[in-house]
Structures are given as C-alpha cells and as structure tokens.
Amino acid sequence: MGVLIFLAAFIAVSIPLSWLFRAGLARSLPRHMASVARDMPLTAAFGLWVIALYVFVAIFAPLLAPFPERAVVGTQFQPWDSTHLLGTDRLGRDMLSRLLYGARNTVGIAFATTALAFVVGSLLGIWAALRGGWLDQGLSRFVDALMAIPSLIFSLLLLTIFGTTVLTLILVIAAVDATRVYRIARSVAQGVVVMDYIEAARLRGEGNWYLIRREILPNALAPLVAEFGLRFCFVFLTISSLSFLGLGIQPPTADWGSMVRDNATLITFGDVTPLLPAGAIALLTVAVNFVVDWQLYRASGLKEQG
C-alpha cells in the first residue's frame, strides 16, 4: 500500500515538474532551440529532467552523500532513522550514501561503455558499407558469429577469463555491444552510400574519411543518436545484472545491482530498501526511453495533426 501511495505521489509531482522544466528550457535556450523545447511532449520533458537529476547526483555525489562511500557507520540492517535516512546495509554502511555514489559508478561506467561501443561499432559499420566487397562480407560474417552467442552468457564467459576490473568490464561489454551498433550503422549507411552526392564526392576525389565524416555520418546521425539512448539502457541493465551476479562492479565500490543482491534478505521482512536501487535503475531506463521516443518521432519528420 505504501509503495502505491509513493508512486501516486511521484506521478503527481512529476507532471508539474516536467511542465516547469519544459517552460524553463523554452525561456533559457536560444530562439531556434526554444521552439523545439516548446513542442516537446511532457514525457520527453520528464525524461530530460530525470536524466539531468542523475547527472547532477553523479557529479556531486561526494557533496550530497552524508557519509563516505565505503565507511561502516552503524550496525548491520539498521532501520530508517534521522541519522541513516534509508538505514544501513549488511555491513553497516549508509544506504543513502551508497545509493548516491552508485549513480556515479553505475551510470558513469554505462555511459563510457556505450560511448566506446558506438565509436567502434558505428565507424566499422559505416566503413564496411562504404567499401563493400570482401571487407563488408568478412566483417559482417564475423559480427554474425558473435551475435549468435547470447550477450549475457558471452559477457560472463569473457569476464570469467579476463577478470572483473572496471577497465575489463568496460572493454568486454563494449566489444559485445559494438556488434549490435555495427549492424545498425551498416544498415543506415547502406541507404546513404547509394545517393548521388556520395558519387559526386567520389568523383571529386574525396577519400573515405571525408565521406564518412562530412557526407555519411551527418545523414545517419538521427537514428544513431536514438540507438545510442536505447543501447545505453541495455548496457546499463547488463552492468547491473552482472553486478547482481557478482561479476560486475566489485565491492566495496557502490553499485545498484550489487546493492540489490547484498540486501535482498530485507525483502522477506517487508522492507523495501533493497528495491530502491532497482527503482533507480528502472526510473533511468524509462526516462531515457521517453527521450529516445521523442527523438525518433522528430527524426521521422511526422507532425502532430490539429
């Protein structure tokens, strides 16, 4: 019952906040961007301010957290009180502090991983579509072979072999996700490389890098940006899943997936504290998807009727 009341209150507060955020953007942005902000649906405004809130928390976590990330400040599983607003975990560390630091670790690592996957996957996909021939076929068949392996199982296998450091985690998940990005980028680029302006640029003697940078990438940017948001959600959930299984971000570093695992015992006693990191994961995923849906709608060129 308490959870339903909290959800109802959150929705009731989110609607006016989203409206105010959209109005603030329309007033503060330059004129050519203000019109975009005014036409933004409330769902996209909600997603943007939630993402902005997560970024703010990730950057200023040391200032916002009442206790250090790894400090044992009480007994295990203390209930919520004025000192520990969300209680303590199984080791006596403050849950609110670790929840705030988890935004920096989980979201930051997910963003770095997604960015690396997109740089590698999109460049290889566009290059393969531009060159064609044996290079395109060779890269595509190699990517098909990797995509045939379930991504979570493949990630677990690689992390078991190479270890579970943060750098290894980023490289492994980026390598697995780059195959999906490659497929999207190649598919989009294949529709661009047949255009007349590409042939004209080739006749002028322009090189492949010029074609990718000045001709193909600007015309393929909209679907790739939308895919970046979706891919970020998948990477974010993958990292949380791996941490829940014990092969993601390693303790004592705060991470939302491992926080759910470490404090799952409380659920049997009716304590919702372990669900807070899971709720943070779900909220960010919904927010990013709202923004992605809006970007896809804008890229489609559709206009609202009436």
What is the Cα–Cα distance from 121 to 201, expressed in whole angstroms?
24
Within 10 Å of residue 205's Cβ, how many Cβ atoms? 7
Q: How many residues appear in the chain?
A: 306
- The reported pLDDT for the residue numbered 227 is 83
Q: Which residues pair with 94 in a beta bridge?
A: 88
Is there a contact between 42 and 15 (Cβ–Cβ < 8 Å)?
Answer: yes
Report helix, strand or coil for 94: strand
Homologous superfamily of 68-76+84-300 = MetI-like (1.10.3720.10)
- The reported pLDDT for the residue numbered 107 is 87
Is there a contact between 239 and 259 (Cβ–Cβ < 8 Å)?
Answer: no
Q: Which two tokens stand for residue 276?
A: 């807070």
Is there a contact between 102 and 254 (Cβ–Cβ < 8 Å)?
Answer: yes
What is the Cα–Cα distance from 284 to 279, expressed in whole angstroms?
9
- The reported pLDDT for the residue numbered 6 is 66
Element (H, E) at 275: helix 275-300
φ and ψ at residue 66, rounded to 5 degrees: -70, -20
What is the Cα–Cα distance from 61 to 68, expressed in whole angstroms?
10
Within 10 Å of residue 110's Cβ, how many Cβ atoms? 23
- The reported pLDDT for the residue numbered 300 is 66
Report helix, strand or coil for 221: helix
- The reported pLDDT for the residue numbered 304 is 46
Q: Which two tokens stand for residue 131?
A: 């060159």
- The reported pLDDT for the residue numbered 306 is 34
Q: Which residues pair with 75 in a beta bridge?
A: none
> pLDDT by residue for the chain (306 residues), tens digit each?
555 676 677 778 888 888 888 888 888 888 777 888 888 888 999 999 999 999 999 899 999 999 998 888 888 888 888 888 888 888 889 999 999 998 888 888 889 999 999 999 999 999 998 888 888 889 999 999 888 888 888 888 888 888 888 899 999 999 999 999 999 999 988 888 888 888 888 888 888 788 888 888 888 887 888 888 888 888 888 888 888 888 888 888 888 888 888 888 888 777 888 888 888 888 888 898 898 888 877 766 554 433
pTM of the model: 0.83
- The reported pLDDT for the residue numbered 292 is 85
